[in-house]
Amino acid sequence: MSNKITLNLNQSPYYDDFDESKNYHQVLYKPSLPVQARELTTEQSILRNQIKNFGDHIFQNGSKVTGADLVLNLDYEYVKLQQQYNSVNIDVTLFANKTIIGSQSGTRALVLNNSPIDTTTGDPDTIFVKYITGGSITQSVQGINVNDGGSGYLTAPTVTITSGGGTGATATAVISSGSVIAIDITIKGSAYTTTPTVTITGGSGTGAFGTATLLTAAAFLGGERISATDASVSALAAATSPTGKGSSTSVEEGIFYINGNFIKIAKQTIILDKFSNTPSYKVGIAVSETVIDSGEDSTLLDNAQGSSNFAAPGADRLKLELTLIKKTLTSTDDTDFYEILRVNVGIKEKDINIPIYSVIEETFARRTFDESGSYTVRAFNVQLKDHPSDATKFIVRLDPGKAFIEGHEFETIISTDITLDRARDFINVNNFDRLMQYGNYTVVKDYFGFFDITTHKEVDLHNVAYASVSLLSPTTYAATKIGTAKVRNIDYVSGTGATQVINMYLYDVVMSSSTFGAIESINVPVTTYLTASTVASVTITAGGSSYSSVPTVAFSGGGGTGAAGTAVVASNAVASVTITAAGTGYTSVPTIAFSGGGGSSAAGTVVLNPVGITSKSNIDDSGKVGGTSGGDAKLFETSDNSLVFKLPQDTLKTIRDNNSVIDTSYTIKRVFENVTFTNGVATISTAGSTETFFGSGALSDSNKREYYTTTVRTVGTSSLALGVQVAFDGSGETITVNAPANTTITFNDNTGTADYTADIIATINIDSKQERIKTLEKSTVLNITGPNTTALSYDALAKSDMYKVHAVYDSANGSANATLPTLTVASTSDTLTPGETITGGTSSAIGTVVLAAAGATSVTYVPVSGTFVAETITGGTSSFTKTVSSVAAGSTDITSRYELDTGQRDNFYDHGRMKLKAGQTGPTGRIAIVFDYFTHAGVGYLSVDSYTSSIGFDNVPVYTSPVTGEKVELRDCVDFRPRRADGGTTIENIELPYPNTNWSADYSYYLPRTDTVYLSRESKFGNNKGISSLDEISPRRLNGTMNLYTIYIPAFTFNSSDVTTQYIENKRYTMRDIGKLEKRLSNVEYYTSLSLLEKETEALVIKDTAGLDRFKNGILVDSFSGHSIGNVLSTDYKCAIDFDEKILRPSFNSNITDLVYDSGLSVSVQKTGDLVTLPYTTTTFVDQPIASKAININPFAVLAWIGTVDLTPPNDNWIDTSTRPEVVVNIQGENDGWENLVGLGFTSQWNDWQTIGTGRETVVASSNIIERAARMAH
C-alpha cells in the first residue's frame, strides 16, 4: 500500500507549505493585519496533522473504522443476452434494478448488476440476477413461447387460452414488422392440470402460433425472451448455455482510516469473475485524490444571495474517494491499495472484518501478555495429510481457530497447510555383529553316515535305538517311528570318530505319536522300500516229503501283489524257491504256500527287501532329562527356534556401507559331496575369493573335529568302513588350510595309498555376501475343483511365501471352473502385464490385471473399486490403452469368507493356504483364487534389499510368528529361512549361519524426528524442525512463538497417518473454566478413595492351597472412556464401550427401524407433519405491529426464498457402514476401535446410533446454555 497521498499542494495556486518539523501548532491572527489564504491553509494542515497523529496512534493505515461490511457472493447468477432484440442492439444498463420474467420458462428474477458487451474479450451483454422463483409444477400459465411469428399482422392479434382444465389466463401479443415476436401473460389463471391451447386470431395476419407452459424453470432458458415486468425493456437470452454462476464482492457504506484521513466509502459491488464462481483475487480499496473547483461542482460557488459575491468562485476542495477494486493474487502493485479480502479458488483466505489498531494495540497486547501470556482461545485442530505430489513430505493442516500470541489477537477463517519433511535422515552402522543364535537342538551320539544339512532332508524319529529298529518290512520299520523332523545343522561337542557327541539342530518337528521325550534315535531311511517293499527270497523252514514233482508256489497277504516263484525239489523234498517275480506293494511279510507235486508239509518264510538306513544316530544321555539313559529326550534352546533375526534398530534403509558397497560376512557349514581321495589325499575349494575355509595352515585336532566332518561314502581301496567318520586326528593325519588365499583345504589320512570317496561338511567364512532376491509373481490363478467346505479348514495353494490374495471366486457349479471378471476389448499389440492397475477413463473404476496378452480381445481382472463400463482403460504401469466394448462380472466373489495363511513359519517358507473363516459358508462349486507370491533367487539371507526391486521399500511385509505371536517388520530383519519348492516337498535356497556365530555387516537405518508447529508474533504458522534421533528430543521454542503441537514423526514416515501429534495446552481460564475446576475438585475425595481401594487391593494377601501368598502380576485399571487399554488387534476382542457412561459392553449390531404411527391405537398425543408430540395449542409470544422503517439485513440479495421442495420419502435414516471413518482425533487411543477393529469399528462404540448417527442435546455446563453434540454421519 502507499504510505502517502501523492498530490503536491505546496505549489500554485495553494502554497500549502506546512512543515511538521517546525513544530507550529497554532496560527495566531493579528487584528491589525489582513488574514492570508496561506495562513488559513496552514491552520487546516495543523489540525489535519494533529488528527493524523492521533489516528496513527489508534488505527493502522488502511484500517476499517466503522461499517464497510463485506460480502463475497459465489452464487452471482448470470444471464447472457443476445446482442440484438428485434434487430436492434440492446442497452443492458436499462435492466438495472428491474424485475424480469422469462417468456417461456415463467422464471422471475431481480436484476442486481449488468455488464455490457466486451469486444476485447468477446464477453456478451450480461445481467446478474437473483432468482425469486424456482423450478416447479404449477396450475397457472407461466409463459407462452412463440413457435412461429406468422406474417401480415398490422395490429396486435387476440390471444385466447383454452382447455387444460383451468380458467382465467389471459395474454397479449407483441408484433414487429408484421410478425408476432412475443406474448405477454397478463393474468396467469388457475386450476390448469394439463397444458392449455393457445389460439392467435385477428390482427390481419396469419400463421402465428405458440405453446403455453405451466412449469417454471430454475433458470432462464436458452433463446427465450426476457422482459422487465413493467414492459420497459426486453432481450433474448443466449441460445446456448445462457445461465450459470459468477462471483462478486460488495461492500456496505463505512469509513476507513487512510493516511491520516477518515474517508467514507459508498456502498458498491464489483464483479470478480463473470462466468466463474471460483475466483482468485485480492480485493481491497483504492484511494484517489482530486482537487475539485467550482467549474466541476457549481455548489462551490458563493451561495450568498443578494450579496455582491453571489455565485463568485472561491476556494477549491480536496476530494478523497474510495473504490472497491480487485487485483490478481500475483500482483505486486499496491500503490494506494488496501487489501481487505483475499479469495483463492473461491475460498476465503483473508477477511479483515474488524478495525486494525496501531500503537494502542501494542499497549493492549503488552498488558494481555503480562497478565495471561500467549494462549489459545479456539484450538487450531490438526489434520495430517499425505502431500499430493512430493513423497518426501506431508502436510499438517491447521483448522480455523483463534489465539493470542504475545497479546496480539490472531484468527484464521480457513484451514492452513504447513508442509513438513518426512523423517528421511539416516545413520550408518559399521561392522555390527549380530549373534546368529538359534537352538532347538538335541544331543546325539553314535553318529553314523551323512546327514545332509544343505538339503534339509526329512529324518525319522524312533522310540528305540537305531540298532533296535526293525528293517524287515515297512510295517516293522514304522512300528517304532513316532515322528519326523528336518536337520539343519550339526555342531561338534566332544569325542572323536564313532564316539563323537554332536548337537543336532532340528526344525519342523512333527510327532505322529507320543512326544519328543520318547525319541531314542534319529535315522535317515532309504526311500526305495520305505513305504512298500518287494519279495527278495524265501527261506525254507520245512522241505516236506514225497514230492515226486515240483509243487506250485503261491504268495498271499502282506498288502502286495505279483510275487511269484519256482520251487526246487531235491530228494523228494523242497530244497529252495527261486523268485521269478518280486511283486510290489508289500508292507509286511506275505505268506508262502506249496501245493501239488505229490508231496506235503513243505513250508517257508518270505524275506522282503529290507528298509535301508543311510545315516543314523542315537540320543546321548546328556541330551536326556537328568543326564541318564532312562530320561526323556530333550530339545535345547527351544525359545530361540527361529531363523528370523531382528536387528536392534527399526526401519532399516539398506544393508550396505556409506558407498553402497556390501560388507556382510558370516560363517556357514557347507557340504562337499563325493569328494575323491587319491592316495589318502583330497583337496576341496570354496566358490571364490570371498569365501575362505575356517582356520589357517595345519589345524589342531580340536579344530579338525569341531569345524570339519568327513564321512566315508565309498570304501574303495581303503580299510575304512562305509559311513564312518574320519577325524584326521591320528598320527600324521592332517587337515591344512592353504595360505595365503585360504580358499582351498587339503585332507591327508597319511596312508599314501587309500583311494575312496567321502562327504565333507566344512566350515567356511563368507565375506561381501549379497542377499538373496525375492521376485513377485503377480496375479497367479489357481483353480480348485474340489474346494474345502468346512469352516476353519484349508485349501492348499502349492506356492510358498504368499504375498497377497486379490480375490476368490465361486463358480456355483461343481463341473465348471469359476470365471473371472472380464472386459471385452479391441485387439491391440500392447500387453497389460499381470498385476498392473487399470483405470476406466469414464467410470474411474480401478482393477488389477490378471491376463491381457497382446492381440487378445479380453482382459481378465480383479475389481478394486468402482464398476467398469464401455470405455477406454489405461494401464497404470505401461500407460497402454484398450477400448472396452462390454463387461462381464464373472463368478461370485467370496473373498471375504477366507483369510490367507502366507505359509511363513519361524524356520522356513511353507506353502500358503486359504482358511475358510469361522461361521462362513463354504463354496458351492469350484473356486478360482487370484494371488501374488514370491519366488527366491540365491542362497543365504534375506534383507530389506531383497524386496526393493519387486515391491518397493514401502511394502515389505510384516511377519507374525504363529508360535510366539511376535510381530516384526521383515525390512528390519536378517532372514535366513529357506523356501519350500512350489508344488513339492524339497527345501530350497538354503545357506544357514553356523549356530552362535556372528553375522557382521554395515547398514543404515532411518531416524525418527520430533518437530513442533508454532504460531509466531508475526501471525504466521511455522514448523520448528527437530534433530533426527532415536530419542524424542523436541526442539527448543523459538523466541516470539507459541508452540501449538509437538509432532512425532516416525522413521521414514510411510504414511501421514503414522505421525502422531501432541496438543500443547496453551490455555486461558475464564470464570466458567474456574467453575468447572471447582466441580472437578469436589470429586477429589472420590478419586482419592478409588486410589486407596487400588492400594488396598495391591496389599491384599491371597493364599493358595499350600498357605503361601499368591503372586499378583499387577492391577489393570480401565476407565472405559475408550479403547486405549484393550488389545483391539486381537481377533478375540469383542468389546464395545459406552464413551459417555463409561461402561464396558459386548459388541453389538445396530439396525434402523422406522417408526410407524398408528393413530387408532395412539392416545394423548398428536401428529403434526412428521412429528409426534404431546397435544398443544399455540399462542402469540411477541407481537410488534409498529416499526419505524425496514432495514434489509441482506443488502445484496445474496439469499432469497426460491420455492419448496418435496422429498419422497421426506427423510431417510441411513449411515454408511461400508467405509471406515477417517479418525482425526485419537490422542489417548480412545478411538483405536474405529481405526483398527474388524467391521470398520461400527460395533465398538455403544450408543453411537445416538451420539454419532443422529446427535443429541447434552448439558455441558451448569448454566442455561445447551450445546448440541455433533451431528455427523460416518
Same domain membership, residue 456 and residue 392 = no
- DSSP 8-state class, residue 1273: -
The Cα–Cα gap between 343 and 326 comes to 10
- Pick the last residue of a domain from 746, 766, 786: 766
- Pick the last residue of a domain from 1040, 1063, 1086: 1063
pLDDT at 1241 over 80: no
pLDDT, position 188: 87
Report yes or no on 660 lying in a domain.
no
Report yes or no on 796 lying in a domain.
yes
653 CB burial (10 A radius; 0-12, 13-18, 19+): buried
pLDDT, position 1237: 62
Cα dihedral 985/991/994/1000 (nearest 10): -140
pLDDT by residue (tens digit) across 881-891? 999 999 999 99
pLDDT at 1196 over 60: no
pLDDT at 980 over 90: yes
Same domain membership, residue 706 and residue 680 = yes
Instruction: Find out whether 1223 and 1252 touch, Cβ atoms under 8 Å.
Output: no
The larger pLDDT score, comparing residue 136 to residue 937, is at: 937
Instruction: Find out whether 779 and 932 touch, Cβ atoms under 8 Å.
Output: yes
Same domain membership, residue 933 and residue 830 = yes
The Cα–Cα gap between 1104 and 701 comes to 57
Same domain membership, residue 907 and residue 801 = yes
Give the rounded distance of the alpha carbon of 266 from its chain centre.
52
pLDDT, position 1089: 61
pLDDT at 243 over 50: yes
Portion of the chain with pLDDT greater than 70, in percent: 91
Helix, strand, coil percent values for the chain (each to nearest 5) = 10, 40, 50
- Pick the last residue of a domain from 766, 785, 811: 766
Same domain membership, residue 469 and residue 368 = no
Report yes or no on 118 lying in a domain.
no
pLDDT by residue (tens digit) across 147-201? 888 999 999 999 999 998 889 999 888 888 888 888 888 888 888 888 899 999 9
Report yes or no on 617 lying in a domain.
no
Three-state secondary-structure class, residue 723: coil
- DSSP 8-state class, residue 624: B
Task: Report, as an integer, the average pLDDT of 734-742.
Answer: 95
The Cα–Cα gap between 615 and 504 comes to 13
Q: Is the peptide bond before 13 cis (omega within 30 degrees of 0)?
A: yes
β-partners of residue 823 are: 859, 887
| CB-based burial, 1207-1219: b 16+ in 10 Å, e otherwise | eeeeeeeeeeeee
pLDDT by residue (tens digit) across 492-537? 999 887 789 999 999 999 999 999 999 999 999 988 888 899 999 9
The Cα–Cα gap between 69 and 60 comes to 18
The Cα–Cα gap between 665 and 582 comes to 54
Q: Can you spell out the DSSP letters for 797-811?
A: EEEESEEEEEEEEE-
The Cα–Cα gap between 843 and 1258 comes to 44
Same domain membership, residue 190 and residue 159 = yes
Lowest pLDDT segment from 80-84, 608-612, 1002-1006, 1026-1030: 608-612
Q: List, in sequence order, every beta strand (DSSP E) within 815-926.
A: 822-825, 837-840, 846-851, 858-865, 872-875, 881-888, 892-893, 898-901, 911-916
Same domain membership, residue 704 and residue 600 = no
Same domain membership, residue 484 and residue 420 = no
Residue 714: in which H helix or E strand, if any?
strand 708-714
Report yes or no on 82 lying in a domain.
no
pLDDT by residue (tens digit) across 354-369? 899 999 998 999 998 8
The Cα–Cα gap between 814 and 828 comes to 35
Instruction: Find out whether 523 and 614 touch, Cβ atoms under 8 Å.
Output: no
| Nearest CA-CA partner of 107 in 1203, 1196, 1195, 1199 | 1203
Instruction: Find out whether 162 and 139 touch, Cβ atoms under 8 Å.
Output: no
Angle at 434 between CA 429 and CA 440, to 5 degrees: 160
Q: At 920, give phi and psi (nearest 5°).
A: -95, 150
- DSSP 8-state class, residue 895: G
Instruction: Find out whether 812 and 928 touch, Cβ atoms under 8 Å.
Output: no
pLDDT at 1262 over 60: no
| Nearest CA-CA partner of 55 in 236, 302, 257, 304 | 257
The set of cell numbers assigned to 1068 is: 486461558
pLDDT, position 1234: 72
The set of cell numbers assigned to 367 is: 498488558
The Cα–Cα gap between 490 and 494 comes to 12
pLDDT, position 498: 73
> Global pTM?
0.77
pLDDT, position 145: 82
Three-state secondary-structure class, residue 433: strand
Lookup result for grid cell 527287501: 609
The amino acid at 133: T
pLDDT at 402 over 60: yes
Residue 88: in which H helix or E strand, if any?
strand 88-89
Task: Report, as an integer, the average pLDDT of 389-416.
Answer: 93
Instruction: Find out whether 970 and 958 touch, Cβ atoms under 8 Å.
Output: yes
Lookup result for grid cell 527356534: 641
The Cα–Cα gap between 768 and 765 comes to 10
pLDDT, position 1106: 66
Residue 40 CB coordination number (10 Å): 13
Instruction: Find out whether 321 and 376 touch, Cβ atoms under 8 Å.
Output: no
Q: Is the dihedral of CA 783, 787, 792, 794 positive or negative?
A: negative
Return the HEC string of 115-181: ECCECCCCECCEEEEEECCCCEECCCCCEEEEEEEEECCCCCCEEEEECCCCEEEEEEEEEECCEEE
Q: Range of 47's domain?
A: 20-69+249-300+314-357
pLDDT by residue (tens digit) across 835-892? 999 999 999 999 999 998 888 899 999 999 999 999 999 999 999 999 999 999 999 9
pLDDT at 1253 over 70: no
β-partners of residue 593 are: 554
The set of cell numbers assigned to 443 is: 544331543
Residue 474: in which H helix or E strand, if any?
helix 474-478
Q: How many domains does the chain have?
A: 8
The larger pLDDT score, comparing residue 331 to residue 3, is at: 331
pLDDT, position 1056: 93
| Integer angstrom CA distances of residue 913 from 729, 818, 850, 909 | 50, 19, 20, 12
Instruction: Find out whether 285 and 70 touch, Cβ atoms under 8 Å.
Output: no
Report yes or no on 1000 lying in a domain.
no
> With bands split at pLDDT 50, 70 and 90, how would you rate the model's confidence at 953?
very high
The set of cell numbers assigned to 981 is: 519348492
Report yes or no on 131 lying in a domain.
no
The Cα–Cα gap between 570 and 76 comes to 125
Same domain membership, residue 343 and residue 482 = no
Report yes or no on 8 lying in a domain.
no
As a whole number, the mean pLDDT across the chain is 88
The set of cell numbers assigned to 725 is: 567318520
Same domain membership, residue 65 and residue 144 = no
Residues 6+ apart with CB under 8 A from 1170: 1210, 1211
Same domain membership, residue 1231 and residue 1107 = yes
The amino acid at 1250: Q
pLDDT, position 1272: 35
Residues 6+ apart with CB under 8 A from 336: 1, 2, 5, 286, 287, 288
pLDDT by residue (tens digit) across 1049-1070? 999 999 999 999 999 988 877 7
Q: Is the dihedral of CA 239, 241, 243, 246 positive or negative?
A: negative
| Nearest CA-CA partner of 781 in 802, 801, 807 | 807
pLDDT, position 1263: 41
| Integer angstrom CA distances of residue 752 from 194, 679, 744 | 122, 5, 20
pLDDT, position 2: 42
The residue length of the chain stands at 1274
Same domain membership, residue 289 and residue 160 = no
The Cα–Cα gap between 265 and 47 comes to 23
pLDDT, position 4: 46
pLDDT at 1193 over 80: no
Q: Is the dihedral of CA 965, 969, 973, 975 positive or negative?
A: positive
The amino acid at 760: I
pLDDT by residue (tens digit) across 261-271? 999 999 999 99
Q: List, in sequence order, every beta strand (DSSP E) within 274-407.
A: 281-292, 317-328, 337-344, 347-351, 375-378, 382-386, 393-398, 402-405
β-partners of residue 63 are: 257
Region of residue 742 (left: phi > 0; alpha: psi -120 to 50; beta: else): left
Lowest pLDDT segment from 90-94, 305-309, 785-789, 965-969: 305-309
Instruction: Find out whether 133 and 174 touch, Cβ atoms under 8 Å.
Output: no
Instruction: Find out whether 65 and 255 touch, Cβ atoms under 8 Å.
Output: yes
The Cα–Cα gap between 418 and 1014 comes to 10
Longest dimension (CA), the chain: 183
| Nearest CA-CA partner of 1038 in 1022, 1062, 1060 | 1022
pLDDT at 3 over 50: no
> With bands split at pLDDT 50, 70 and 90, how would you rate the model's confidence at 46?
very high
> With bands split at pLDDT 50, 70 and 90, how would you rate the model's confidence at 1254?
low
Instruction: Find out whether 669 and 995 touch, Cβ atoms under 8 Å.
Output: no
